[in-house]
């Protein structure tokens, strides 16, 4: 069983997703039952927590799909901050064994388990893997049939793999939790990042007035995404610009979160994706606050794919890195200044952005 130390708990309290337990239960390696094929595949695993050097490209057992599961030949896998947070041991707990990271997969159905309907070999798909499974940094990954959606026709595998964690987080934060409506206003922190660049587009498409923060170099990007007001968080106080908004989507936490309560109108809501927000402070200010942890949702992924095909949502991929160079992808992500997404290319058939 995972062990969570008090030190790590306090470290994580503010800066990392609060659904700590879910992450620490992450055996992210296939369960024994999923390893029955006897074949091997290439994957990137960690055998210990540490810096990017602990990512090892190696041969591992190829998994098989159990009942209600699908085996996907992975073409591309998204990279998210949670990947290097787990790798770095930030969630604490004992590493339960060699672990394959990666929660965003895009690829082609290889085989289906018993009781799976609606999916067949050759279907082009994508999915969010639960934190308890991971498995995306590999040639093959097992996923729950209910988590799958059809790949958008207008996006290649790399751009499709950019979607699951980041776009579902934006959707679940803005719509499922904050219930953002047309005509309302929203402040989106880190609007140029993975979650933020989808959130700005989705809120704009909904018909909301969008305030978004980024550094000076990304202000034009925010405007292209549909932000009405782009705020340089290094040069301006966002609270001097955004006032009386209905919703704040917070992916920064700390002081930024404390100050964000002041920009909400009475009854407005702050949704944090980086920890449980200060509900007591929110109450004192007459606003609401809640934290979310993204969860798989094949149906909403299908709606996101439809928006892409309609030209209303565009994933921005700033770097495509070969699977074998996952260390480089982690180092890029850990810089904290990713524009859009970083994606691992698992097979070579397609590419959609400049390699770095
Ligand atoms: N709870 C959940 O389910 C969930 C899901 C997804 C992500 N998360 C968490 O949410 C956070 C963001 O994830 P992400 O994938 O969007 O990260 P990301 O892509 O790495 O975010 C990078 C962006 O953050 C911006 N940024 C950095 N400091 C900023 C500041 N003080 N104010 C405004 N923007 C700032 C950078 O813009 P500049 O380069 O212009 O500075 C950059 O574009 C991470 O901590 C991640 O672990 C949680």
334/256 same-domain check: no
- For the chain, the average pLDDT equals 90
Lowest mean pLDDT among 6-20, 136-150, 290-304, 305-319: 6-20
Q: Is 284 strand, coil or helix?
A: helix
300, pLDDT greater than 50: yes
Instruction: Return the best residue to mutate from 101, 195, 227, 248 for the ligand 1 pocket (most ligand atoms within 8 A of CB).
Output: 195
Do 207 and 328 fall within a single domain?
no
How is residue 239 written in tokens? 């609270």
CATH of the domain at 57: 3.90.180.10
In the prediction, which pLDDT does 24 show? 34
Exposed/middle/buried for residue 57 (C-beta within 10 Å: 0-12, 13-18, 19+): middle
Query: Can you read off the two tokens belonging to residue 23?
Result: 């992450």
Percent of the chain with pLDDT over 70: 87
Kindly report the length of the chain. 356
pLDDT confidence band for 27 (50 / 70 / 90): very low
Counted domains in the chain: 2
Model pLDDT, residue 12: 36
Give residue 356's pLDDT band: very low, low, confident or very high (50, 70, 90).
Answer: very low
Q: What is the pLDDT of residues 45-75, one digit of tens each?
A: 999 999 999 999 999 999 999 999 999 999 9
How is the beta sheet containing 99-100 ordered, strand by strand?
A: 55-61, 40-46, 99-100
Looking at the fold, whether 176 and 214 belong to one and the same domain comes out as yes
Residue 106 has pLDDT above 80, yes or no: yes
Sign of torsion over alpha carbons 242, 171, 197, 274: positive
Report how far ligand 1's centroid is from the alpha carbon of 257 (Å). 13
Same domain? For 159 and 170 the reply is no
Among protein residues, the one with the nearest Cα to ligand 1's atom 10 is: 251
Name the residue at shortest CA distance from atom 48 of ligand 1. 273
Is 282's pLDDT higher than 50? yes
pTM for this entry = 0.92
Same domain, residue pair 237 and 283: yes
CATH number at residue 179: 3.40.50.720
DSSP 210-246: EEEEE-GGGHHHHHHHT-SEEEETTTS-HHHH--SEE
Q: Does 305 map to a domain?
A: no
| pLDDT (mean) for 249-259 | 97
Q: How many beta carbons lie within 10 A of that of residue 276, not counting itself?
A: 15
Question: Which of 238, 170, 239, 242 minimizes the C-alpha distance to 206?
Answer: 170
Residue 103 sits at φ, ψ, to 5 deg, of -115, -10
In the chain, what are the helix, strand and coil shares in percent, each to the nearest 5?
35, 25, 40
**184-237 pLDDT tens trace:** 999 999 999 999 999 999 999 999 999 999 999 999 999 999 999 999 999 999
pLDDT value at 145 more than 90:
yes
The DSSP string of 25-46 is: T---S--GGGGTT--EEEEEEE
Check whether residue 157 and residue 234 sit in a common domain: no
CB 275 within 8 A of CB 16: yes
**Residue 327 CA, ligand 1 centroid: distance in Å:** 19
Residue 79's domain spans which residues? 6-163+315-345
Residue 11, pLDDT > 50, answer no
pLDDT band at 36 (very low <50, low <70, confident <90, very high): low
Binned at pLDDT 50, 70 and 90, residue 37 comes out as confident
> CA 53 to CA 44: how far, in whole Å?
11
CA 235 to chain centre: 28
Note whether residue 229 is domain-resident: yes
- Report pLDDT for 35: 63
pLDDT-derived band at 266 (thresholds 50, 70, 90) equals very high
**Is 170 in contact with 226 (CB distance < 8 Å)?**
no
Which residues, judged by CB distance below 6 Å to any ligand atom, belong to the binding site of ligand 1? Answer: 17, 80-82, 165-166, 169, 189-190, 192-196, 213-215, 218, 233, 251-252, 256, 273-274, 292-294, 333, 336-339
């Amino acid at each position: 069983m995972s062990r969570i130390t008090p030190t790590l708990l306090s470290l994580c309290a503010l800066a990392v997703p609060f659904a700590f337990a879910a992450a620490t239960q992450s055996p992210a390696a296939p369960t024994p039952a999923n390893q029955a094929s006897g074949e091997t595949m290439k994957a990137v695993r960690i055998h210990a927590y540490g810096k990017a050097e602990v990512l090892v490209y190696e041969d591992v057992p190829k998994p098989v799909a159990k009942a209600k599961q699908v085996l996907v030949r992975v073409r591309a896998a998204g990279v998210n901050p949670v990947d290097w947070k787990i790798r770095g041991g930030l969630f604490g707990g004992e590493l339960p064994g060699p672990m394959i990271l990666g929660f965003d997969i895009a690829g082609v159905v290889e085989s289906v388990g018993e009781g799976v309907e609606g999916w067949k070999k050759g279907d082009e798909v994508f999915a969010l893997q639960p934190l308890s499974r991971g498995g995306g940094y590999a040639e093959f990954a097992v996923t729950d049939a209910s988590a799958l959606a059809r790949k958008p026709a207008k996006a290649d595998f790399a751009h499709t793999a950019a979607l699951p964690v980041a776009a579902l987080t934006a959707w679940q934060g803005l719509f499922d939790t904050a219930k953002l409506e047309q005509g309302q206003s929203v402040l989106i922190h880190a609007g140029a990042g993975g979650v933020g660049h989808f959130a700005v587009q989705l809120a704009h498409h909904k018909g909301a007035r969008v305030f978004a923060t980024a550094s000076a170099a990304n202000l034009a990007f925010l405007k292209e995404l549909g932000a009405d007001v782009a705020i340089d968080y290094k040069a301006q106080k966002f609270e001097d610009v955004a006032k009386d908004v209905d919703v704040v989507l917070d992916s920064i936490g700390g002081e930024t979160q404390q100050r964000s309560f002041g920009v909400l109108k009475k009854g407005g809501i702050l949704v944090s994706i980086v920890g449980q927000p200060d509900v007591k402070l929110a109450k004192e200010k007459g606003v609401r606050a809640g934290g979310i942890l993204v969860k798989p949702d094949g149906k909403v992924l299908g709606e996101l794919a439809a928006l892409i095909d309609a030209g209303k949502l565009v994933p921005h991929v700033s770097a495509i890195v070969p699977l074998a160079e996952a260390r480089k992808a982690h180092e890029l992500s850990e810089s904290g200044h990713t524009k859009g997404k970083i994606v691992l290319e698992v097979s070579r058939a397609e590419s959609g952005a400049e390699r770095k």
